[in-house]
């Protein structure tokens, strides 16, 4: 199914549903007042960071100071422009069980249950504060199911020991979100036109119906429709271009190679899991997450980039500082850089580049949230966004001093632009994130008995 086959019916249903979801929750949001987040997003990347090394060198994932004096390490530099929107959490750990294990870290990351014997915080929030949204939980992946990954390769646990698989295909995710919907519990009005059979924009083809809809809507809801339309048009353009680029073989081959055969297949299979396509897929999934949140379709989302012990060949990311067409460097491969932080060791220097790239992708997510006005601020002001991985140091697989960053002001309940250092189980951090969403939990998982002190106002 290509992008061009989205129907006017599907588009209108999605827009109506998104507008309705926003309108339905407006009274609830007013009742909550300031000091409560409207959404939470988890951004996961694999294989940790350059933490405390075996030869005693300190972590290269650090931040110090506060406000205008806040300083970031070289790995965190892509967040320089957004550091005032972040809280850098130091010292939290995931407990000693399965210490030194990627799978053990992935099981505990969002459950804080040794052995993965619990529900992850995102699933809990989806079933509590997010239960009224059309989509309680939006779990998007970028090659997170590569090589038939399952089980502990995924970080979201619907119940003890049971993970949920993310959706890796951005076009299929788009159809799921905007292909059907309801308004106030009733089916949305459906135009009778058939699916498009040409390459016109589905938004342009539906403009007549949309203009009629805007005339019937009030000023406030009409403005929301305009916002949704603008976001959808940009996303449609990106997906169409990405789909065609993958079908035609992108990036272009060097002059010494013959042109590839044109592939007019669906955006699935080998194209969806080709490492050189990873940056565009992740960008599409990030845009889709922000659009879905802006349209009020969900309050709880997870973006999973690949999976632990990742075989993702990051040296094929054209345009990045890692790009090297003559050498394949994988994420997990680079993470085993050895006992020393040796800048003469290519594994180590490539690992630093990879970690910076992940941070830059998180920064892009924050920029997209910040670019959307909401209330008296932006979507980022009303969000809680967690950056995380399943281990701290990638070489030792340590579960101590985990590399957590919390971004967004949570509707006013989080003071940003600072560092928090707490030597305690990371379940306290998960509990504080739940608290920012208005969910009253005193702790989360094993060894956690309170919200992380200092995070919430």
pLDDT in tens, the chain (457 residues): 333 333 444 455 555 544 444 443 443 334 334 589 999 999 999 999 999 887 878 899 999 999 989 999 999 999 999 999 999 999 999 999 999 999 999 999 999 999 878 999 999 999 999 999 999 999 999 999 999 999 999 999 999 999 999 999 998 898 898 774 332 333 333 333 333 234 455 556 556 666 666 666 666 666 666 766 666 666 666 555 545 544 444 433 332 222 223 222 345 567 899 999 999 999 999 999 999 999 889 999 999 999 999 999 999 999 999 999 999 999 999 999 999 999 999 999 999 999 999 999 999 999 999 999 998 899 999 999 999 999 999 999 999 999 999 999 999 999 999 999 999 999 999 999 999 999 989 999 999 989 999 999 8
What is the pTM (predicted TM-score) of this model?
Answer: 0.79
Give the pLDDT of residue 250.
41
C-beta of residue 393 within 8 angstroms of C-beta of residue 59:
yes
First to last CA, the chain: 48
The packing angle between helices 170-178 and 8-32, to 10°, is 70
Give the other-Cβ count within 10 Å of 112's Cβ.
25
Domains and their CATH numbers in the chain: 34-180+281-436 (3.40.720)
Give the pLDDT of residue 178.
78
Give the pLDDT of residue 64.
95
CA distance 437 to 42: 13
Element at 25 (helix H, strand E): helix 8-32
Give the pLDDT of residue 232.
65
CA distance 163 to 65: 38
Q: What does the DSSP 8-state code read for residue 77?
A: G
C-beta of residue 40 within 8 angstroms of C-beta of residue 437:
yes
Give the pLDDT of residue 331.
98
Give the pLDDT of residue 298.
95
Coil, helix or strand for 111? Answer: coil
Q: What does the DSSP 8-state code read for residue 304?
A: E
Give the pLDDT of residue 239.
58
In sequence order, which residues have a C-beta less than 8 Å from that of residue 255 and are 6 or more positions away?
none
The packing angle between helices 219-247 and 207-216, to 10°, is 160
Strand pairing category for 138-142 and 300-305? parallel
């Amino acid at each position: 199914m290509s992008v061009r086959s989205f129907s006017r019916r599907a588009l209108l249903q999605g827009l109506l549903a998104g507008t309705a979801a926003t309108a339905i929750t407006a009274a609830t949001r007013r009742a909550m007042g300031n000091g409560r987040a409207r959404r939470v997003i988890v951004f996961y990347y694999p294989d940790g960071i350059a933490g405390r090394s075996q030869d005693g060198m300190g972590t290269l994932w650090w931040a110090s100071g506060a406000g205008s004096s806040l300083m970031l390490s070289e790995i965190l530099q892509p967040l320089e422009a957004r550091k005032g929107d972040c809280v850098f959490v130091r010292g939290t750990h995931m407990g000693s069980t399965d210490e030194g294990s990627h799978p053990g870290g992935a099981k505990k990351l969002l459950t804080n249950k040794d052995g993965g014997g619990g529900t992850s915080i995102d699933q809990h929030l989806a079933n509590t504060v997010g239960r009224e949204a059309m989509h309680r939980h939006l779990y998007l992946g970028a090659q997170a199911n590569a090589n038939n990954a399952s089980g502990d390769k995924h970080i979201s646990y619907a119940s003890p020991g049971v993970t949920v698989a993310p959706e890796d295909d951005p076009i299929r995710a788009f159809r799921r979100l905007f292909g059907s919907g309801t308004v106030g519990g009733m089916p949305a009005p459906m135009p009778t036109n058939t699916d498009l059979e040409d390459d016109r924009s589905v938004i342009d083809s539906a403009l007549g119906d949309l203009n009629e809809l805007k005339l019937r809507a009030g000023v406030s809801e009409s403005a929301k429709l305009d916002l949704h339309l603008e976001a959808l048009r940009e996303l449609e353009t990106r997906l169409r271009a990405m789909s065609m680029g993958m079908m035609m073989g992108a990036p272009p081959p060097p002059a010494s190679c013959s042109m590839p055969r044109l592939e007019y297949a669906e955006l699935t299979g080998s194209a969806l899991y080709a490492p050189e396509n990873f940056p565009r897929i992740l960008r599409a999934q990030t845009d889709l997450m922000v659009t879905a949140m802006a349209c009020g379709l969900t309050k709880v989302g997870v973006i999973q980039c690949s999976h632990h012990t990742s075989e993702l060949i990051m040296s094929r990311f054209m345009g990045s500082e890692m790009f090297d067409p003559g050498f394949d460097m994988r994420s997990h491969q680079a993470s085993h850089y050895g006992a020393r932080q040796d800048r003469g060791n290519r594994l180590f220097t490539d690992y630093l580049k990879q970690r910076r790239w992940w941070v830059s992708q998180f920064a892009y997510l924050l920029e997209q949230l910040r670019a959307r006005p909401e209330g008296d601020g932006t979507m980022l002001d009303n969000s809680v966004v967690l950056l995380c991985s399943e281990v701290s140091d990638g070489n030792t697989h340590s579960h101590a001093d985990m590399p957590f960053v919390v971004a967004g002001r949570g509707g006013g309940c989080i003071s940003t632009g600072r560092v928090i250092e707490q030597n305690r189980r990371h379940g306290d951090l998960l509990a504080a994130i739940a608290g920012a969403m208005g969910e009253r939990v005193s702790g989360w998982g094993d060894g956690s008995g309170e919200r992380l002190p200092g995070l919430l106002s």
